[in-house]
Structure 1
Amino acid sequence: MSPRSQPAAEHDVIRIAVIDDHELIRHGLEYLLHRHEDLKVVLRGSSVGDLRGFDAGYDVLILDLYLADDRPCVAAVKELSAVTRVLIVSASGRPADVLAAIRCGANGYVTKDAPSELIVAAVRTVASGGFYLSAGLADILQSELDETVRPPAGENDDDEVRPKLSAREEETLSYIAQGFTHAQVGRRMGVSKATVDTYVERIRAKLQVGNKAELTRAALNRLERRDRP
Structure 2
Amino acid sequence: MLQETSRDPVGVLVVEDDAVTRKALCLAIESDPGLKLLDAFDSVKPALDFLESSSPDVLMTDLGLPDGSGIDIIHACARRHPATDIMVVTMSSDEANVLACIEAGASGYVLKDAGKLDIARAVLDLRAGGAPMSPAIARMVLAKVRDNKKPAVPQSSPASDTTSLTRREAAILDLIAQGESYGEVAKMLSVSVGTVQTHIKNIYGKLSVHSRGEAVYEAHRRGLLQLGRPPGKRS
TM score, norm. by length of structure 1: 0.62
Report matched runs for 1:175-194 at 5 Å.
Answer: 176-177=176-177, 179-181=179-181, 193=188
The 8 Å contact of residues 145 and 219 in structure 1, kept in 2 or not, is answered as no
Q: Is the 8 A contact 2:11 2:37 kept in 1?
A: yes
Which residue does the alignment assign to 2:64? 66
Shift of 1:12: 1.5
Percent identity (aligned): 24
Give the drift of 1:37.
Answer: 1.5
Tell me the alpha carbon deviations over residues 121-172 of structure 1, each in whole angstroms, 9 at most, x when there is no partner.
33123435x3524151211222221123346xxxx72453667xxxxxx9x9
Task: Name 2:138's counterpart in structure 1.
Answer: 138
Report if aligned partners of 1:17, 1:42 keep a CA contact under 8 Å in 2: yes
Structure 1 residue 23: Cα displacement: 0.6
- Show structure 1 runs of 4+ deviating over 4 A: 53-57, 172-175, 181-185, 221-225
Measured after TM superposition, the shift of residue 57 of structure 1 is 6.2
How far 1:20 moved relative to its partner?
0.8
Aligned AA (1:24): V
Q: Tell whether the 8 Å contact from 2:60 to 2:88 is kept in structure 1 after alignment.
A: yes
| Residue correspondences, number | 194
RMSD: 4.3
Contact 2:125/2:132, CA 8 A, preserved across alignment: no
Name the structure 2 match of 1:47.
43
Name the SS for the 2:12 alignment partner. Answer: strand
Q: Is 1:74–1:101's contact at 8 Å kept on the other side of the alignment?
A: yes
Q: Distance in 1 between matches of 2:96 and 2:79?
A: 21
Aligned partner of 1:220 in structure 2 is 217
Residues in 1 aligned to 2:50 and 2:214: alpha-carbon distance in whole angstroms: 31
Kindly state the Cα deviation for residue 13 of structure 1 after the two structures are TM-superposed: 1.4
2:12 corresponding residue in structure 1: 16
Specify whether residues 66 and 174 from structure 1 end up closer, same or farther in structure 2 by C-alpha distance, changes over 3 A only. farther
SS at match of 1:33: helix
Deviation for aligned residue 1:224 = 7.9
Q: Which amino acid aligns with 1:77?
A: I
Residues 1-229 of structure 1 correspond to what in structure 2 (within 5 A)?
Answer: 9-51=5-47, 52=49, 58-68=56-66, 72-84=69-81, 85=84, 86-114=86-114, 115-117=116-118, 119-128=119-128, 130-136=129-135, 137-150=137-150, 157-160=153-156, 176-177=176-177, 179-181=179-181, 193=188, 208-209=206-207, 213-214=211-212, 216-221=213-218
Q: Is the 8 A contact 1:21 1:45 kept in 2?
A: yes
Query: 1 or 2 for the larger relative contact order (CA 8 Å, sep ≥6)?
Result: 2
